[in-house]
Amino acid sequence: MQIGKKTVIFDLDGTLIDSLEDIAVCMNQVLEELNLPTHKIDDYKYFVGGGISILVDNALNGYSQDIKEEVTKRFKIIYDQKLHLKTKAYDGIYELLDELVKLDCNIGILSNKPHEFTIAYANSLFPKYNIKEVHGQKSDIPKKPDPIAAIKIANSFEVSCEEVYFVGDTMVDMQTAVNAKMIGVGVLWGFRDEKELLENGATFIIKHPLDLLKIITKS
């Protein structure tokens, strides 16, 4: 185990990147093509965070499995074409990552977004940071809030879970931190509110990315 090596695992959507509009526009395009009801962009704040199957379930509440499968297939195709139209890192994220690199921190990403999309975003938006552990939803590993993937990242970095800061914007992320016995840091610039984060086990709440530095440098 590395003694004193600070380790931070970030969620992706709503934490590192603001992807809501691209997700909403792509899903609404699919729904329109199939003559299904669309949703307001803000509604998608409560649809995301649990992976693509939960996104589709939320967008198609009450529809058949066949329709959900068709929507999922079409969404993946359209979203892959429009990955980077409006999605960008939140203000302060690059500055935070710069400081974490200076502090020689381990940096990982764990998302419920499909793995291929997670890798695509990491490569396009964060190429200079050499983030060694980047993982999205995979068929052979349970998605968050199951702790297995988070624990695997900690093991890869050779640090104990109790020393890892798990940073995210939803209850799924805070539940992951609790389940993995990590330190949950809830962010308020993402998709959910402080109440949800605290009720699901957040140890810290931050309002700006650089606030994370105050936490990890004090410990």
Q: Provide the token pair at 47.
A: 């649809």
**What is the pLDDT, as a whole number, of residue 2?**
53
CA dihedral 85, 74, 29, 55 (to 10 degrees): -80
**CB neighbour list of residue 74: distance below 8 Å, 6 or more residues apart:** 30, 33, 34
**CB neighbour list of residue 189: distance below 8 Å, 6 or more residues apart:** 90, 169, 207, 208, 209
**What is the pLDDT, as a whole number, of residue 83?**
74
**What is the pLDDT, as a whole number, of residue 82?**
81
Q: CA–CA separation, 69 vs 78, rounded Å? A: 14
Query: Cα 191 to the chain's mean position, in Å?
Result: 10
Query: What residue ranges define each of the domains in the chain, with the CATH number in brackets?
Result: 7-18+87-218 (3.40.50.1000), 20-81 (1.10.150)
**What is the pLDDT, as a whole number, of residue 84?**
76
Pairing of strands 183-187, 164-168: parallel
**What is the pLDDT, as a whole number, of residue 130?**
84
Q: CA–CA separation, 167 vs 12, rounded Å? A: 9
State pLDDT tens for residues 89-108: 999 999 999 999 999 999 99
Position 203, amino acid: T
pTM of structure: 0.95
Cis status, amide bond into 145, omega within 30 of 0 = yes
**What is the pLDDT, as a whole number, of residue 218?**
86
Coil vs helix vs strand at 83 = coil
Q: CA–CA separation, 146 vs 142, rounded Å? A: 6
Question: Is the alpha carbon torsion for 188, 194, 198, 203 positive or negative?
Answer: positive
Q: Which residues of the chain have pLDDT under 70?
A: 1-4
Bridge partners of 186, per DSSP, are 168, 205
* 207 in Cβ contact with 189 (< 8 Å): yes
